[in-house]
Amino acid sequence: MLAARFAAPPVPRTFVRRERLAERLTAGLQRPLVLVNGPAGAGKTLLVADWAARAALPGPVVWLTLERGDEAPGVFWAQLLAALRHGGIPLPADVAGPARAAEVDLALPDRLAAGLNGRGSPVVLVLDEFEHVTSPAVAEALDGLLRHAAGGLRLVLISRDEPLLPLHRYRAADAVAEIRGTDLAFTAEETGVLLTRHGLALSEEGVQALTRRTEGWAAGLRLCALATENTDDPEGCLREFEAGNSTVADFLLAEVLQAQPAETQDLLLRTSILERTHTGLADALTGRQDAARILEELRHANAFVTPLGHAWYRQHTLFAEILRVHLRARYPGLEQELHRRAAHWLHDAGRLADALPHAAAAGDWETAAGWLVDDLAVGQLLAGLDAARLGALFARMPEQADGPAVALVRAARALARWDVDRGLAHLGRADELAPPGTGSAAARLSGAVLRVLAARLLGSADMAENAAESAAELEHEVPEERLRAHPELKALLLAGLGSAQLWEGRFDAARAGLAAAAEAAGGGAQAAVRHESLGRLALIDLLLGSPGRAEAHAVEAIAEAARCGLPPSAHSGVGHLVLAEIAFDRDDLAVARTALERAEAGSGARHDPLLVVGLAVLKAKLLLNSGDARGALLTLAAAERPAPADKPSPWARERIALGQCAAQLAAGDPVAALRVLSAAGEGPEPAVAAAQAHLAANDPRAALAALDAVPARAVRPAVAVRAQLVRARAASAFGDPAAAHRLLAQALAVARPDRLRRPFREAGPWVRRLLQERPALAHAHGWLPRDLVAGLPRPGDAPAPAPVVEQLSEREHDVLVRVAQLMSTDEIAADLHLSVNTVKTHLKSINRKLCATRRGEAVRRARQLHLL
């Protein structure tokens, strides 16, 4: 006998010690049986050899490597006894070697077990390559030895195949520890260590890619490393590694494929085109009926075939890749026919998603497109978990492919990329090939839904409503179960219809459609549609003056995206835009900017007209806040005709005009502000903006007249607040402080529920002056901006001295503020666009009213009266 069979193999210098597995082996010795089971080249033997040499084991280690021919009972037990003697294990006197190869005394295992049972420390017996033991008699006797030896024996089996031992009994008794092929697979970190041992320095991405491709298979990793040790660009070499021409391929073909019978080789080659193999599908590819038996034998032999359950199996990724190269070499031209057979089998089995890639690989693009359309699955190109995969699949469709279904698929892909012109062109081609009234009902229904989506991008509610009516009629012509199987189609239709109606300002109809779309898109696969619909509902609430409801819908939209794992790039952005608008009205500018950035990262930031306009309006507001009126005007001008919408939106036009009005007022040109408002149409918000422009032009009477168009109720809170502030300022200009205070209090009451701070900040310094006269009013609204109420007297403070003569006018207050800033008369005149004589007149009036004779005294007196 060769002594080498009684020694563990040496561990190479490049060996990677994996403590996670060594610890499992050590812990496994608490049980009588340890099984290390995995495919060829998984690193089983070296793992156990290194562990046996290094670990603190409870007793001596005996190693036996089995070979072909050891399956005969007499041969096996002779080898086992020789290994024990070689390891220095004393055997009972009544244990002798077998006399014949084909049989053994049944009492031998029992006598050996009795001898081992009396030991103080157990013998750790390692049987390597146990797959060579195919005799049930040997397995049964070994099972008896292990059970009767009790604490005197620990058996470690290393095997490619599932051993014949009754593992179900060991598992039920918790008497076996198992390390399987998935446990033996290298992690990316361990791959990096192995490559370093071979002197290779790969990027983290390269290590990850190699680990994925080899699925952590130890032999594959080592062979790849060896093949690239002497190259100048190891990362590029591994990236361009050819499966059919490598040492890895040689290893797998010799160790796995060529070791199989002819019919098994044929099945492995033909099923290598599949990501997953079903026994029935394999039979369809081979033309035989033996796939169930062969696949189970391969699984049992750990021949790189993994069971997935329900008669499905999967080949190792790299093994399948090598087999496909071998298939092309052995059977030229067969691969395309196999893809065609697989496509039809999978389609007949109701597995459309799996069938389409095979139809494409077979070059049957018309068939693939027809299946997608007839199944009513064209909506999956626009929404759902398969959208990206299907889009990439049909992106490979050649130009010469043609047919009504092909045109519809191309239209769906174009609309998914916001390309409405190409989408409409492809829909027109579909109509040419299958005129209205012809073609399948599924194709006509799919075309109607796609027209709704095109109308949404164009901003045409009429076109969307007409297409939706056609779709409603066609729904009765397709099987109901097929409609139920594809809820994304209905959800997309409702969401597209509601969006088109929203753009044209048909808010009631849009709300109903979008709410129905959110409900129809209840499943995880339609999360993007539900997320988008909720965001648009939030925008409707905001436009109609319900910021509380708008905020709730926006938060729900964003939560839906998070719940279903939508990446930021797949967000519609509208929900974040609504939150940004609400935060701006609350004067939470940091929150508004963050929400704006998230809205800009969404999928529709450059294509969705709703979002394009909304982003421009909010950016303009933030630019005005920082004093950049010109930048605000340029931003708004760029959004006046948002592509691809070719129909104006009344509310979008109004919001842009309001932004332009605010920018012109900030630039000091109330005439230009009134001029741009002509594009805003009539309504409460343009009326308030016009009133603000008249006030800036020192015409309070015209301001109050403009407010006649603002109803007392049913307007947005922010609009109502601004209207009351205009009235309060006009009352102050008319010298009616009591009315001004009353109107200010009404504005505060309206703003309080939603914490609308922004209107008060934008109103100007006169608001603080009114609050100084009525500090109790300010302290009743602690949510106001701090800088607006800072320094006001608290309740209980000593009363401020009363004015001696009369209230300062607004212009006099403006002059006094600049006096307090130590500006000269000329500087005040230039800053306020007044003549020097006018400023001197105001200064005399200020001194008279405050009973002061000098500027410094007037400033001190004003501060005592909380006018500054």
Q: Which domain holds residue 652?
A: 621-676
In this predicted structure, which of 242-256, 713-727, 791-805 has the lowest mean pLDDT?
A: 791-805
Does residue 831 sit within a domain? Answer: yes
Does residue 338 sit within a domain? Answer: no
Q: How are beta strands 312-315 and 305-309 bridged, if at all?
A: antiparallel
Q: Is 465 exposed, middle or buried (0-12, 13-18, 19+ CB in 10 A)?
A: middle
The per-residue pLDDT for range 193-208, each reduced to its tens digit, is: 998 888 888 888 888 9
The reply to whether 236 and 171 lie within a common domain is no
Task: Return the pLDDT at 803.
Answer: 47
The reply to whether 133 and 225 lie within a common domain is no
User: In terms of pTM, does the model score above 0.75?
Assistant: no
Q: How many CA atoms lie within 13 A of 44 on its CB side?
A: 28
Of 789, 823, 852, which residue is a domain's last?
A: 789
The reply to whether 88 and 151 lie within a common domain is yes
The per-residue pLDDT for range 647-667, each reduced to its tens digit, is: 889 999 999 999 999 999 988
Task: Return the pLDDT at 680.
Answer: 80
The reply to whether 691 and 780 lie within a common domain is yes
The reply to whether 31 and 157 lie within a common domain is yes
pLDDT reading at 239 higher than 70: no
Provide, rounded to the nearest whole percent, the portion of the chain with pLDDT above 70. Answer: 95
Report helix, strand or coil for 308.
strand
For residue 401, what pLDDT band results from cuts at 50, 70 and 90? very high
Mean pLDDT of the 840-846 span: 88
Q: Are 342 and 285 in contact (CB under 8 A)?
A: yes
Q: Give backbone dihedrals phi and psi of 306, rounded to 5 degrees, phi first.
A: -115, 130
In this predicted structure, which of 126-130, 352-356, 831-835, 842-846 has the lowest mean pLDDT?
A: 831-835
Does residue 598 sit within a domain? Answer: no
The reply to whether 176 and 90 lie within a common domain is yes
The count of structural domains within the chain is 5
Task: Return the pLDDT at 714.
Answer: 60
Which CATH number characterizes residue 147's domain?
Answer: 3.40.50.300
Question: In the beta sheet, which residues pair with residue 315?
Answer: 305
The per-residue pLDDT for range 373-386, each reduced to its tens digit, is: 999 999 989 887 78
Question: In the beta sheet, which residues pair with residue 128?
Answer: 65
pLDDT reading at 245 higher than 70: no
The reply to whether 701 and 837 lie within a common domain is no
Does residue 592 sit within a domain? Answer: no
Task: Return the pLDDT at 793.
Answer: 66
The reply to whether 110 and 195 lie within a common domain is no
- In terms of average pLDDT, the best of 148-152, 370-374, 640-644, 736-740 is 370-374
Task: Return the pLDDT at 524.
Answer: 58
Enter the tokens of residue 100: 């014949």
Does residue 253 sit within a domain? Answer: no
The reply to whether 633 and 714 lie within a common domain is no
Task: Return the pLDDT at 449.
Answer: 96
For residue 801, what pLDDT band results from cuts at 50, 70 and 90? low
Does residue 219 sit within a domain? Answer: yes
The per-residue pLDDT for range 18-66, each reduced to its tens digit, is: 999 999 999 999 999 999 999 888 899 999 999 999 988 989 999 999 9
Q: What is the 3-state secondary structure (H, E, C) of 658-721?
A: HHHHHHHHHCCCHHHHHHHHHHHCCCHHHHHHHHHHHHHCCCHHHHHHHHHHCCCCCCCHHHHH
Question: Cβ neighbours of residue 536 under 8 Å, at least 6 residues apart?
Answer: 495, 498, 499, 502, 510, 514, 572, 574, 610
Mean pLDDT of the 213-224 span: 83
Enter the tokens of residue 713: 């109720």
The per-residue pLDDT for range 426-479, each reduced to its tens digit, is: 999 999 998 776 778 999 999 999 999 999 999 999 999 999 999 999 999 999
In this predicted structure, which of 157-166, 557-566, 755-764 has the lowest mean pLDDT?
A: 557-566
Does residue 855 sit within a domain? Answer: yes
The reply to whether 641 and 750 lie within a common domain is no
Find the largest Cα–Cα distance for the chain. 134
pLDDT reading at 251 higher than 80: no
Enter the tokens of residue 377: 């699955």
The per-residue pLDDT for range 89-111, each reduced to its tens digit, is: 998 888 877 767 667 777 888 88
More confident residue, 774 or 589: 589
Task: Return the pLDDT at 506.
Answer: 95
Enter the tokens of residue 806: 């009369």
Mean pLDDT of the 522-526 span: 64
Task: Return the pLDDT at 244.
Answer: 59
| Nearest of 787, 783, 792, 832 to residue 812 by alpha carbon | 832
- In terms of average pLDDT, the best of 12-21, 713-722, 778-787, 851-860 is 12-21
Mean pLDDT of the 250-278 span: 89
For residue 1, what pLDDT band results from cuts at 50, 70 and 90? very low
pLDDT reading at 302 higher than 90: no
The reply to whether 724 and 855 lie within a common domain is no
The reply to whether 729 and 718 lie within a common domain is yes
Enter the tokens of residue 34: 């340890």
Of 676, 709, 743, which residue is a domain's last?
A: 676
Average pLDDT, the chain: 88
In angstroms, the Cα distances linking 702 to 573, 676, 695, 708, 842 are 40, 17, 8, 10, 25
The residue written with tokens 């990850």 in the block is 208
Of 629, 658, 676, which residue is a domain's last?
A: 676
Does residue 648 sit within a domain? Answer: yes
